[in-house]
Structure formats: C-alpha cells, structure tokens
Amino acid sequence: MQTTQSPSLTATQLPQVHFPRNDGMPLDLDWVMAVQANTSAIERRAKTLPGRRSVKKDYQAAWLCKAISLMDLTTLSGDDSEGRVRRLCAKARQPVAQPILEALGMEGLTTGAICVYHDMVATAVDALQGTNIPVAAVSTGFPAGLSPFHLRIAEIGESVAAGAAEIDIVISRRHVLTGNWQALYDEMREMRAACGDAHVKAILATGELGTLRNVARASLVCMMAGADFIKTSTGKEPVNATLPVTLTMIRAIRDFEDRTGVKVGYKPAGGISKAKDALVYLSMIKDELGDRWLQPDLFRFGASSLLGDIERQLEHHVTGAYSASWRHAIG
C-alpha cells in the first residue's frame, strides 16, 4: 500500500478560486468518432483504485478537509423551503464544528458551492452574502431535460439574473444514444452562450448513456462546445457516479487538455456518501490529472449526505470517538 501525501490546504485557498473559462472550439467529428473506450480495461483499473492508496491520521484529516472545500452542498427536493436552504447555506459557511476546526488548526474552511433549484437561487444568494461561496442552479428542465428547448434556454437566463454564478445543465440523452453529435454540440453551444459569465456544468446522466464509449464521446463533444465542467449525473438516475465512468470522463478531460491546452473541470454526483469514497475519488484525480485539479475551480463533489460522514470522521480523528450521525445534520 502506498501512502498519499496530504494536499496543500490553507485558509487563503478556500474558496479563493479563479475559474478558467472554456470558450470551446468547432466540432471535430473525426476526433469524436476516433474516441473508443476499452470497457474491460477501464473496469479492471477501477477495481484496483480503492486498495492502491492509504491515508491515515493527520494525512486523512487533511484530505477530508480538502474534500469539504470541493463540495457542492446540494438540496434538490420537492419539499425544499427557504428555511431549509438558509440552514444549508449556514452549513456551507461553517461545515465543521468550530472546536473540531480549532483542534485541526483549520481556518476559513467552507464548501465549494451551494447547489439548488432555480426557485431557491435568490434565497441562497442572500444567505451567502459576505462570502465567496458561489450559488449553482440546476437548469434546463432538470433532471430529464425534456421541456421545450426555448424554455430551457429561458430558465438559464432566469437563474443567472437571480444571481447564480454556476449553471448545471442537463443534455438531451437521445442525441448521444442516436449518435447525433452535431445536435448535442449545437444544444450545448447555445446553452453555454445563454449562461453568459456564469460557468456551465454539463450533466451527462451517464447511467442513461448505455456505454462507456458514449460517455467518452459525449464528454468530448460537450467540452468542444464550451462546457466549463462535465458532470456525471443528476443524482436522480438509477446509476449515478461510478469509478469506471469517472475514469472515462477524466481521461477525456486529460486528452482535451493535451490537444487544446484548455483545462475543464469534473464533478461526480450522486451516490458518493462516505468519506472513504471521497478519498478514492481524490486519489484518482491526483493520479490521473494532477494536483491542479484538486482545487474547486476544477473539481467538485455533488453531495448532500457526504458532509455529515466526513464531519463524523474528523470528530473521531480529534476525540477518538464516533458521534451519532444525527449530531451532524446538514440542514
């Protein structure tokens, strides 16, 4: 077992981010059609990942604090209320109890962003005044993306006008499943334009794309069209973020940077609820993309319950005892 060193984590880095923008490029169908995915090799590599890195004690605490700083703390429920969103924003400001942070020698730790439905954007923006925590809005007919296209574009504009700094859009899965890459590119390009200065995360809904080759090609087309991030899932599909999908997508990101010089971010979402899983994802990002992607402008966890488990692990690190999960409510 190899031991992963602790990441650099200082208060000045949290959440002082400088988002690189992806202006996109013309659709290169020759490049897209040349993309393949060796599923058996990807799955074999993914199986080895949980056992290849071991982080303990202070190193583990540092990595878990890093994970918090990369988290899009999320509530996307039909019963969301202003009160719930304000409590969530308070948690984003102070994700870990102050005595625990003091024992860890941590200052200025916040989550990377808050992610909500459009109706809650204004509430979240108001609750986060005085911080650098951005508000992300899910948009374009989330989660299915099947509303009329002009309404999806209008929804982006409404969320930007309400103060959302980031827009999580959903692509039309049918374009991927039918191999209509020009339609996917044109759709993504128009959504990117509608976001204006807001950063756009393209949700691929990978659990509904059929094959890892489709995932790789869809990732590439969305990056060509100007996606600042590519994201696995809405969190509403039967299968959300997985290690094979993540490996496929981050290698597409690496290939895109090698050929264009443009860095694109990555966001796994859905199903990542345990601290140990977050550590596996972080070690994979470090191995495949390097330390630069361990910053909130290039990596985010889409999470709701993950923070509670991380907070329990940090308290155990400080006190030697596990507390009840209800003591670490998210909102």
* CA R_g for the chain: 19
pLDDT value at residue 19: 60
Closest listed residue to residue 24, CA positions, set 221, 187, 224:
224
Q: Please state at what angle helix 212-224 crosses helix 181-195, rounded to 10 degrees.
A: 50
Under 8 Å between Cβ of 294 and 285: yes
Beta strands in the chain (DSSP E): 2-3, 53-54, 71-74, 113-116, 135-138, 166-170, 199-203, 229-231, 265-267, 301-303
Least confident of 79-83, 211-215, 325-329: 325-329
pLDDT value at residue 326: 65
pLDDT value at residue 176: 98
With a cut of 50, say whether residue 31 has pLDDT above it. Answer: yes
Spell out the long-range contacts of 16-19 with Cβ–Cβ below 8 A and sequence spacing 24 or more.
16/132, 17/112, 17/132, 17/295, 17/296, 17/297, 18/297, 19/199, 19/228, 19/297
User: Of 15 and 243, which is predicted with more confidence?
Assistant: 243
Straight-line distance from the first to the last Cα atom of the chain, in angstroms, rounded to the nearest whole number: 37
- Domains annotated on the chain, with CATH: 28-328 (3.20.20.70)
Catalytic residues, by residue number, are 168, 231, 267
With a cut of 50, say whether residue 320 has pLDDT above it. Answer: yes
Question: What is the percent of the chain with per-residue pLDDT over 90, rounded to a whole number?
Answer: 85
Please state the rounded mean pLDDT for residues 322-331: 68
Exposure letters 175-193 (e unless 16+ CB within 10 A, then b) = bbeeeebeebbebbbebbe
pLDDT value at residue 20: 72
User: Of 159 and 13, which is predicted with more confidence?
Assistant: 159
Q: Which residue in this structure is represented by tokens 């909102």?
A: 331
* Number of helices and strands in the chain (H, E): 13, 10
pLDDT tens digits along 235-256: 999 999 999 999 999 999 999 9
Least confident of 3-17, 43-57, 300-314: 3-17
pLDDT value at residue 49: 85
Mapping DSSP onto H, E and C, the string for 171-211 reads CCHHHHHCCCHHHHHHHHHHHHHHHCCCEEEEECCHHHCCC
